A and B are shown apart, each in its own frame.
Chain A
């Protein structure tokens, strides 16, 4: 009989290696999935993970890695702070949308004026939009004890409807021949989040993501607030005795994650995507949850996990056009990754014991 025995201390080595084992397990079962779909599994995996980095057209795909990875990392960093403390913001998708709408609205309000101050104002507005949207579940939780998981998620659907309303109404391009969607910010120099070096994929969102990684790292390792976050997650009672204010922590964690998600949306709408449209959001807010867990809620880990997840998006696109692999297969692949990670994580906290069974 096999049973689990709790380790006195979580294993550090296993904690670091489970993400890698989860990725390997996902390769194997993902490969099986591709085989079931009638694709050569080796070719499919090679297309997804090798071609974007080292294939013939890698020069085109590598910049995409930054473009897709930046919003994932930016959002996941914010989520990880809350997740560490047991505060579950799963509505980042909605905050991302609101950030984009606020940012774009400020930019469009200035159209066609040009000025250096327009883009910084848009950044502020985007951050404010995401922050304000996350403050709704935060304030309700602090004031009324409302479950932040359900409220933040409900607000995603509200934000999606708001996005539809904006792209069909207030923010619609007056010169767009009646098509839904706003003006293209890429054609408005003062509002365009252009590449900092042509062809590199490096835009202000990437810079913001890197700053967020450093900020989170310093916060968690050097700052009292980071300590409060970690203690609250591991021992809520101990945290209260050590003087942590739970309400302030909820406001901080939800507010920061909303702010970062809003920034991600704003950089996306003013850069790679260019305009507010009905289907502007593509699920980064949900994928970022996987990124946060895959990165072990650690800033550096999240950076790496964000890169890997960006790779599955890009490689998935290539596999879709070259091999006819359905887009949903990549979604399943990403879901599987989180599944294996959670399953394998048991060995970080428990060890296997072979021996006499105990009633359980």
Chain B
């Protein structure tokens, strides 16, 4: 075992990249859950975004168009969930599961002809001399625009939820849909908008995996990241900045276990690969005692005549 083989600078830069898909998926789901809807289809929307983004980037040669397509793909799939839960008033748990199963199949179907292809690369932003600062430069200033967009998105969601009227209405709908309805807010429309936002974010997160982190297409490549994102929202007690922190924590763990695999640690590869999932469970256990932060209407179906 040779731990000195792990370059700390590359490690930190790497875990920022590993955390980004989680940031997108978790912040999207956070908004959805704040509106009182539990969408368990994150994994399905991510993988759909991953292939939509990948296919578009390969066909057009533009990674940015790929990301746009991924957001659209995720949002379109989430529209199915919105239809099931808001129009057909179906159970949210079952609908989310159906979305994940459907998304996994659909992405495999679209992705058949894209196996083994290299996507066009999205270049890093040129920060000029900033990138040459020792230590901080390579860690903070050698990334692509989407990574920074993820952090900006967290700040944006935080500001909207905390300071704007729209954020207040969204939270009201999530805390008590009956009261919000009585005040004249269109509960279903607001929730549908939140679901679409969540879908677009999950799609972006998926595309970040297939276009930047890996970058190639393999079936089922999201490998549970969508589910970890769901756990992250609980971990974050529905607070945006804590979701960011959680994503970095998990990104760090993922990166560390990959680096340990590379460094030839005496622990078998399979046990290292288990670790992010086991740590997710442990974190859930530690934090599940306090449920007071959860939106009060989370997971409940709204129907005006009830």
Interface residues of A (CB under 8 A from B): 4-6, 88, 90, 136, 140, 144-147, 149-151, 153-158, 161-162, 164-165, 168-169, 286, 289-290, 293, 326-336, 338-339, 342-346, 349-350, 358-360
Contacts and interface: CB of A to CB of B under 8 A. Distances in A.
Contact of A360 (B101, B291, B304): B304
A67 to B, nearest CB: 22
Interface of B, secondary structure class, is helix
B224 interface: yes
B227 A338 contact: no
A335 B80 contact: no
B90 to A, nearest CB: 4
A154 B224 contact: yes
Contacts of B118: none
Interface stretch (B11-19, B92-100, B209-217, B236-244): B92-100
Given A154-B280, A158-B277, A349-B89, A5 B98 contact: no
Interface of B: 40, 80, 83-84, 87-91, 93-95, 97-98, 101-106, 108-109, 111-112, 181, 184, 186-188, 219, 223-224, 227-228, 230-231, 234, 268, 270-271, 273-274, 277-278, 280-281, 284-285, 288-289, 291, 303-306
A342 B101 CA distance: 14
A145 B288 contact: yes
B217 to A, nearest CB: 13
Given A150-B234, A326-B112, A350-B89, A342 B227 contact: no
A-B interface, 10 closest residue pairs, ranked by CB to CB distance from nearest: A331-B105, A335-B102, A328-B108, A165-B270, A332-B105, A328-B109, A342-B90, A346-B88, A338-B98, A360-B304
A155 B281 contact: yes
B268 A165 contact: yes
B84 A342 contact: yes
Nearest to B40: A149
A161 B273 contact: yes
A146 B288 contact: yes
17 contacts: A145-B288, A150-B227, A154-B227, A157-B223, A157-B224, A161-B274, A162-B274, A286-B101, A328-B109, A330-B105, A332-B109, A334-B105, A338-B102, A350-B89, A350-B303, A359-B184, A360-B303
Given A161-B270, A343-B84, A147 B284 contact: yes
A332 B106 contact: yes
Contacts of A336: 102
Given A145-B288, A338-B102, 5 more contacts: A157-B224, A338-B98, A346-B89, A359-B181, A360-B304
